[in-house]
Chains A and B, each alone.
Chain A
């Protein structure tokens, strides 16, 4: 039976071997009931989606880079973050990797947003 990251498992032919399953690669793992309640997407979430679409259209990001950066999140971060939190984190990391933005620019811009909020 497939287990989580790093566990040794017996394969179908009975031989023990150590296997490594990445955290996001969850097909076949045990799970609870499918929670059916849905939420209306908040405007900030739709804007994250729009950001992905606009950046892809301008070839500043590939969906594959987005996915890789999501998959690179630490397992507890992956589980705790909401879907669009993972997306905005991954979009930002991709832009950093591509050199479209720098950490310095981001840090200053985020601090400015925080200050603007605090001033309200």
Chain B
């Protein structure tokens, strides 16, 4: 299975692109435009946006678990400063955070 090379390593700061395309999207709306840190590289998987239309979704996209601070996501977050959320995001949705 052909795969795209991983761009990011654990610990890298990344930003989730802000885009709202139609179709089957596995990047939740609430994290688009936000920045976090790569927690781990999960491997490469066929792109679900393409699989949803019965296309092969190749080359496989690296999938990452990205960790965000809750207080950075929600202006009114009512929890501890250390609280986090981790989301699996495909590489084509990520760019380096400035």
* B-binding residues in A (CB < 8 A): 1-2, 11-12, 19-22, 25, 27-28, 62, 64-65, 67-68, 71, 97-98
Contact = CB atoms under 8 A, between A and B. Distances in A.
Which 10 A/B pairs are nearest by Cβ-Cβ distance?
Answer: A64-B51, A68-B52, A28-B30, A68-B24, A64-B52, A20-B20, A21-B29, A25-B29, A27-B30, A64-B48
Contact of A25 (B28, B51, B52, B76): B28
A65 B52 contact: yes
Interface of B: 18, 20, 23-25, 28-30, 33-34, 48, 51-54, 73-76
A34 B52 CA distance: 30
A6 B93 CA distance: 22
A2 B76 CA distance: 12
Nearest to A28: B30
